[in-house]
Each structure stands twice: as C-alpha cells, then as structure tokens.
A and B are shown apart, each in its own frame.
Chain A
Amino acid sequence: MSAELSDLYQQVILDHNRRPRNRGRLPTANRSAHGDNPSCGDQCDVFLRLEGDRIAEISFEGSGCAISQASASLMTTQLKGKTSAEAQKLFKEFHEIVTTGKEPEVISDLAAFAGVHAFPARIKCATLSWHAALNALRGDTVAATTESHKD
C-alpha cells in the first residue's frame, strides 16, 4: 500500500469509522442541520443542544465513505463543550489540515486527516459534517451543500 493511501486511512480514521461516536439523533437537540454532497450522494445530519452559546451535546447521522463518517464522528468529540467562536476556529484549523496536509501546532486527533490533502476529491467528504455543524450553530435552515463552498 502506498504511503499516500496509508496516510489517508490512518488508524484514528479506521477506528472512528468502525465505532462512530455520538451517532444517532439527539432527542434533546434544539438545533439541527442537514448536509448534502451532491457529487457522491453523501448525506449528514448534525444535531446540537446549545446551552447559551456553548455546545452542550452533539450527534450526527448519515451515510458516506470511511473518511466522511470518521470525520463526522471525530468532529462531535472535538466540538462538544465548545462555543460557536471556538467551533469556527477549529473548523479553520481542520480545513487547513485537509487542504494543505499541514499538521496543527497543538497536538490533536484532527491531524489524522492530513492525508486527505493528497486526494482532492475526498476533501469534501471530510468537510461535509463540519459544514452542517456550522450551519446548525448559525441556525441556518437551508441544507448545507459541499457545492456552495470551495471545499
């Protein structure tokens, strides 16, 4: 297996794909948003319970490749307890990681997605759930779509 492919399918990603965290509808959610990736048919719903400006609980539901499922799962573990400004900042970091392959300064599981940058077609897989989560935070009712974003 090539270095690129083993970088893409790292243990952290395989683990989150096999045992997704926070998967399923959140009965107590007061925000939710839907995301579509029209180029591959992937879908993702993100559910939030906001307490003030802080994400008290978060979950996701959806279908897609290992990259998209692992990304959604890992995202929920990263966003829980964050304020919306903190969430925006984390997404910026994550976006940088998946588009450039540059590992973050602070040690983070998000670095597992650095291998995505060598597979440009898969960047949208990794970012779909994040777009849905940010939409939910903003209270947007329009479905997030990977086509309306650069990635």
Chain B
Amino acid sequence: MPSPWLRIRDEFPILHQEVNGHPLVYLDNAATTQKPRAVMAALDRFYERDNANVHRGLHALSMRATDAYEGARSRVATFVNAEAPEEIVFTRGTTESINLVASSWGGANLRKGDVILLTEMEHHSNLVPWQLVAQRTGATLRYLPVTGDDGLLDLSQLDRVLTPEVRVFAFTHVSNTLGTINPVADLCARARRVGAVTVIDAAQSIGHMPVDVRAIGCDFLAFSGHKMASVTGIGALYGRKALLDAMPPWQGGGGMISNVDFFESRWKPTPERFEAGTPNFGDAVALGAACDFLDTLGREEIRRHDGALARLAYERLSALPGIRVLGPKGERGGLVSFAFESLHAHDVVTFADEDGIALRGGHHCNQPLMRRLGLTSTARASFYVYNEEREVDALVASLRRTLKFFGLQG
C-alpha cells in the first residue's frame, strides 16, 4: 500500500487556491488546521444517512445516530488511550473542557487556603477559568515561571511552588506561543506526590503527536477537534472516571438527569452528567473520523514531520536581521513565533498575506507571558501534515522582502 503521506495535499482541497495571486501557504495551523476530505465526507455521510437526535430514541435513525455518537466516543477514548469511553466528555473544545473542570471539580473541591498552580506559558483558556474559580472559592493562584526566550518551564523552581497546599496543577502540553513541549509525565508524577490533581491543555499537542493519558498519568486532559483536522465546535475532556463520578454537574438540562422532580433531580453517571442538552453528535462523528485519519498517517510520523519543519524555520528565521525567535532551539512542537526589533507583528502578517502566506500575529492569547518576555506581540508560523520545506523558504523570502521595504535588511 502506498504511504498515505505521498498525496497528502490532495486530501485538503482548500490548499489548492491562490491568495493575492500566489499559491496559498497556510501556516496558521496552531489557530486551526484544515480539514481532509475524509473528515468532511464522514460529516456528509452522517447527515445524509443517519441524522436524528441521540439517546432515548426508539426509531432506526435515532439508534443509528446514537451508535455513531457513542462510537465516536469510543474512538476518541482509544485515541488518547483512556481506560473506558465513559472517561470522554464531549465539549465545544479545549476552553469549554477546562471551564468544566474548573467550575465543577474546582467549585466542589477548592476553598480558602488552597492553591491553584499554573505556569507562565498558559493560554488564556487555561488561566481565566482558574481566575474565575479562585474568585469564587477563595483559592489563590501561583505560577511556575518560564526561563526566558528559550521558553522552558523553570523546573528548578518546581519544589518551591509545588507545595502541599496545591490542590490542582494545570499546564499546557505544548505552548502555543513558544512551541515548547513540556515534560508532562514528570510534572504529573511530581504533582501526585503532593496529592494535586493535574489538568493538561492538549490543544497544541493532540493533533501533532501521540497523546496517551495513561502514560502521561494525568487526571484531566482537554483538547479541541478543529486543531486536529476535525471541525469547529467539538472537543473533549478526558477525566479519570473516579474523579468525574465524584463531580457535580456544571450545566443542567435534558440528557444529564436520571430523574427530575419539581424541586430536585438526580444525575446520570458520567459522561452524560456533563452533557446537558442535545449534544453535538454530528461533529463528534467528524472528530472520530479525524482520529482515524491521523492514526493512518501515524502520530509519531506527524510529530517528526511538524517538528522538523519548525526546527528548520527556527534556524532559517534566526539568520534574519533584528529578529528574536522564541522557544527552545532543539526539540519543539510544530510552531515558531518571532518578533522583529523594529517591525510590528501586524505589519509582518499583512505583508506575508500579500504573498499568499497565512501567519498569525498578536499576543496569541498569551498576554501575561508576552509581558514577562517584554513583548506585546509576535508573528507565528505553525505547521501541519500538509506543509512542506518549500513553504518555509517562501516564508523566509517574503520576510526578507518586507524587511527591505521597511529599510531593515541589516
């Protein structure tokens, strides 16, 4: 059988277009990835054949839709190597998953004197939900620092901040600004020693490398479908069953109750307890299809492919005048962000777009980290399975033209 990598760009129709008169170079994958034909076909198939509301349905379509939805849950469970499908709660994405944990687990377990430990590289989605629950419960926030431009967690500080008052330690697997791959299994092991619950933001790792919740040893793991070749509006929370079972609901409605009376109700077990209302079963099917697609490519191979492009970009960008390239020099996730001394990221992005290159510029929902590094914004190039070395060349050539225009060629 020929390698599925050979004609990979054919799987993504959107790539075959011109932008501003140039072939599209899509390097904004950390924001959202493009979708392969297989995923879009799964979505079409579901709506053309099987669509009906799930659960409690006694007719054929509803039973088929329920099977498709629960099949997707099983598929996601095996994708992250959960022990059981019940450990997967479908959500709108990473942000909702983290809000669910912060609100439900945090609301029930945190109180004054407790500490929520985060890191300085967290995305706003793994920061603001904890600020909200801290305000609600009287718990306090504490941060594990980053080392600086090389973008590593300062593990020499871990003993100082990971004390017995820490009830929960939430951190990202791969930084969306720095590209750092954090030692998540070690961090979970250290957290367990002080009895802290661990929450991992896997938004930037889930589609790019093997993610095995049992090997990592985390209690919760949150991710989004649209950053792993699936569609927007669907994501998941993995939670260890014992923890999920002990958590109160966070939203009320149909589908999550076992019995409702006028004055009180009883809850279904996990995962339904956390899926009030009609769930997003159509997109869940697309998420399952994305799991198949990525496993066909091989997640170890994806890690090598994206990491190699990011390291190449890191090297080539570092040669440009007046540039600051962030994050670790060696092993990194599939993204690179950079800032020029005398050129703002938005100007960089506007000029790249002129050459058909899609970059992202701004604070990347990382404002506290940006301030810590003395930056207000960076431009970011992020890679996925369909990107090629020639696209790194195109980026570097475009940046050189921009620098020349602004009289900054050095």
Contact = CB atoms under 8 A, between A and B. Distances in A.
Contacts of B262: none
Interface in B326-349: 343-347
Contact of B354 (A2, A42, A67, A69): A2
Contacts of A65: 344-347, 350
Which of A8, A9, A65 has the most C-beta atoms of chain B within 10 angstroms of its own C-beta? A65
Interface in B362-410: 362-363, 367, 370, 376-377, 405-407
B26 interface: no
A122 B350 contact: yes
A107 interface: no
A56 B397 CA distance: 47
B346 A125 contact: yes
A5 interface: yes
A5 B402 CA distance: 12
B406 A14 contact: yes
A2 B31 CA distance: 27
B351 interface: yes
Nearest to A66: B347
B157 interface: no
A9 B345 CA distance: 15
A63 interface: yes
Contacts of A66: 343-344, 347, 406
Contacts, number: 49
Given A9-B405, A65-B344, A66-B344, A42 B376 contact: yes
A119 B362 contact: no
If over half of B's interface residues share one DSSP class (helix, strand or loop), that class is named, otherwise mixed; here it is mixed
A9 B354 CA distance: 13
Given A41-B362, A41-B376, A63-B376, A119 B344 contact: no
Nearest to A39: B362
A119 B377 contact: no
Contact of A119 (B21, B350, B367): B350
Given A2-B20, A9-B405, A122-B346, A43 B351 contact: no
Interface string A119-147: 10010010000000000000000000000
Interface of A: 1-2, 5, 8-9, 14, 18, 39-43, 63-69, 119, 122, 125
A1 to B, nearest CB: 7
B350 A8 contact: yes
A43 B376 contact: yes
A64 B375 CA distance: 11
Nearest to A14: B406
Nearest to B354: A5
A124 B201 CA distance: 32
B141 to A, nearest CB: 21
Contacts of A69: 344
A87 B361 CA distance: 32
A119 B21 CA distance: 17
A43 B371 CA distance: 13
Contacts of B345: 65
Contacts of B405: 1, 9
Contacts of A18: 407
B350 A5 contact: yes
14 contacts: A2-B21, A40-B362, A40-B377, A41-B362, A41-B370, A41-B377, A63-B344, A64-B344, A64-B346, A65-B344, A65-B350, A66-B343, A66-B406, A68-B344
B122 to A, nearest CB: 16
A146 to B, nearest CB: 13
Nearest to A5: B354
A64 B346 CA distance: 8
A5 B407 CA distance: 16
B376 A5 contact: no
Contacts of B370: 41
Contacts of B344: 63-66, 68-69
A119 B345 CA distance: 16
Contacts of A40: 346, 361-363, 377
A67 B344 CA distance: 10
A78 to B, nearest CB: 22
A34 B164 CA distance: 41
B195 to A, nearest CB: 38
Contacts of B346: 40, 64-65, 67, 122, 125
Contacts of A2: 20-21, 354
A64 B351 CA distance: 16
Nearest to B345: A65
Contacts of A63: 344, 376
A85 to B, nearest CB: 33
Nearest to A41: B363
Nearest to B407: A18
Contacts of B351: 5
A18 B406 CA distance: 9
Contacts of A68: 344
A1 B376 CA distance: 27
Contacts of B20: 2
